[in-house]
Structure 1
Amino acid sequence: MSAGHATICRVASSAIEDEHLRELSLLRRVRDRIDREYAQPLDVESLARGVHWSAGHVSRRFKAAYGESPYSYLMTRRIERAMVLLRRGDLSVTDICFTVGYGSLGTFSTRFTELVGIAPSVYRARAAEDAAGIPPCLAKQVTRPVRNQEARSGQPQLA
């Protein structure tokens, strides 16, 4: 291989790496927006506009980078926040439903049950005793819902 060819390869490789880092930066921006605005009405089209990509491109690249679609990530984030509020215990399930961005108690309960394995009201009752003595920062990590069905042991994701 000639010195000129090696230089061209290094330049091309550097350009590809720069583009990859730029893409990851934009995907982090999408994820951070979901984390910040999870309780707001969000759709892939508005997320895509924020990074000047198409909705399809955002969905494909987000799933490749984070293992789930932007919509699934948003639903997981909402359920995580609901779990925290349910453990805290000072709001009704209905109030929590609307606080985390759901417009329907039925949809919230269905999604919660699909992801966590038990209904929100049952989770609240069990979480109080299961998380007793665990610091809130650790309880959040231990009780994070797992969307990957194969990774679930079939048991509710409590503590």
Structure 2
Amino acid sequence: MGSVALAVTEGMLHFELSVAYEVFDAAPDGVTVPWYDLEVCGTDAVRVGRFQLEPDHALDRLRHADTVIVPGWADIDVEPPADLVAAVRAAHEAGARVASLCTGAFVLAAAGLLDGRRATTHWAHTDVLAARYPRVEVDPDVLYVDNGSVLTSAGKAAALDLCLHLVRLDHGSSVANAVARRLVVPPHRAGGQAQFVTAPVPVRDNHPLEALLPWVIERLDEPLTVEDLARQARLSSRHLGRHFRAATGTTPLQWLLTQRIRRAQELLETTDGSIDAIAAATGMGTATTLRRHFNRTVGVPPDTYRRTFRTRPLGRRFFI
């Protein structure tokens, strides 16, 4: 409602910028409520991805907006521009609602807007955000966080989740649903970022676990123990634990559980097997055990995950 300003400068990510522009630029057909007055604010001509962009106004225009959107920031290893940080801070002090998309959270953190607040960003960068800004309570497991006047979203598609959330706050669910239908996306997604994070298997030549990890992956349906893994690797359980911690950052049992969950995700996506059958195929034993671990790890129940990621024939269409 009111005016929305997109804060852009060199180094912004074009996907998040495009998402915000698509949502706030024009109302869907049939929606008659007053729509947003969208402005693009930035330095002179800026390069966003491979595109050259001419902003409508300078950054100082942000303080006149009702809502300021800060798209993703490409290079988190460098500090965001001081003029952008100052303009975002000034906009918030003037009463604007400020939202970041993906790594735009680094801009908000640099402006001090996240101090003492819960926030999120793309799962691949949450550790960096937490280390660089220790006063921020970083939550890596959610799609977005709403603190009222300050909001942050996780990576990429979660930017759309947050933009739809803002429309829902301003105009209600029916209007947000209309925007979602136009974009052919769900109006609200359950769960958090964990459901979108794969678990790669680290394999290096001559590593003590090099042969063990593929061996385990082929036997996920078996009731493997740490002792079984240590025996196969010809290591003591203690040394096995050390190698696992160094290679994967976790314990053998936690790594094994992660692989079982990942296999369950694949089976939910690609087969019609029952939850009981998938529990047996992944070494979980029972559907109850699978549901408990799956919900705790992924953030949604197996049935919800299947509905979201189910792969069908005819061009691998995804039904949500």
* TM tier relative to shorter chain: 0.5 to 0.7
CA–CA distance in structure 2, aligned partners of residues 134 and 62 of structure 1:
36
Superposed CA RMSD in Å reads 2.6
Asked if the contact 1:85/1:91 (under 8 Å) is kept, the reply is yes
Task: Report the equivalent of 2:236.
Answer: 54
CA distance in structure 2 between the partners assigned to 1:81 and 1:104 by the alignment: 15
Rg larger in structure: 2
Deviation at residue 133 of structure 1 after TM alignment: 5.9
Identity between Structure 1 and Structure 2 (%): 33
Distance 1:90 1:51 in 2: 35
**Structure 2 counterpart of 1:84:** 266
Residue 43 (structure 1) aligned to one of 225, 229, 235:
225
Confirm whether residue 94 of structure 1 aligns to residue 276 of structure 2: yes
- Residue type matched to 1:104 in 2? T
Gaps (5+ residues) in structure 2?
1-204
Deviation at 1:117, TM superposition (A): 0.6
Task: Give the structure 2 partner of residue 74 of structure 1.
Answer: 256
1:134 Cα deviation after fit: 5.9
For residue 114 of structure 1, report the CA deviation from its aligned partner. 1.3
1:114 paired with 2:296, answer yes
1:37, CA displacement in angstroms?
1.2
Q: 1:49 to 1:89 in 2, by over 3 A?
A: closer
Partners of 2:220 and 2:281 within 8 A in 1: no
CA pair 83-62 structure 1, distance change in 2 beyond 3 A: same
Partner Cα distance (1:124, 1:51) in 2: 35
Q: Find the aligned partners of 2:282 and 2:238 in 1 and give their Cα distance.
A: 26
**How far is 1:30 from its partner?**
2.0
The answer on whether the counterparts of 1:89 and 1:124 sit within 8 Å (CA) in structure 2 is no
The AA in structure 1 aligned to 2:265 is M
Deviation at 1:42, TM superposition (A): 0.9
Secondary structure, in 3 states, of the residue corresponding to 2:310?
helix
**Structure 1 residue 115 displacement after superposition:** 1.2
User: For residue 254 of structure 2, what is the amino acid of its counterpart?
Assistant: S
**C-alpha distance in structure 1 between counterparts of 2:258 and 2:250, whole Å:** 10
The answer to whether the 8 A contact 1:97-1:105 is kept is: yes
Structure 2 counterparts to residues 118-129 of structure 1, below 5 A: 118-128=300-310
Cα deviation 1:33-62 (Å, max 9, x = unaligned): 211211111111111112221111101211
Bigger strand share: 2
In the superposition, the TM-score normalised over structure 1's length comes to: 0.62
Question: Alignment partner of 1:37: what SS?
Answer: coil
Q: What is aligned with 1:104?
A: 286
Tell me the matched-pair count: 114
**Contact 2:261-2:294 at 8 Å conserved across structures:** yes
Pick 1 or 2: higher relative contact order, CA cutoff 8 A, min separation 6. Answer: 1
4+ aligned runs moved over 4 Å, structure 1: 132-135
- Output the TM-score relative to the length of structure 2: 0.33
Distance between the aligned counterparts of 1:42 and 1:59, measured in 2?
15
**5+ unaligned residues in a row in structure 1: which ranges?**
1-20, 140-158
CA offset digits 1:107-141 (Å, max 9, x no partner): 11111011111000111112238xx9669xxx9xx
1:65 match: 247
The CA deviation at 1:89 is 4.0
Q: Flag the 1:124–1:74 CA change in 2: closer, same or farther, 3 A.
A: same
Aligned partner of 2:275: which letter? Answer: V
Q: Does 1:29 align with 2:225?
A: no
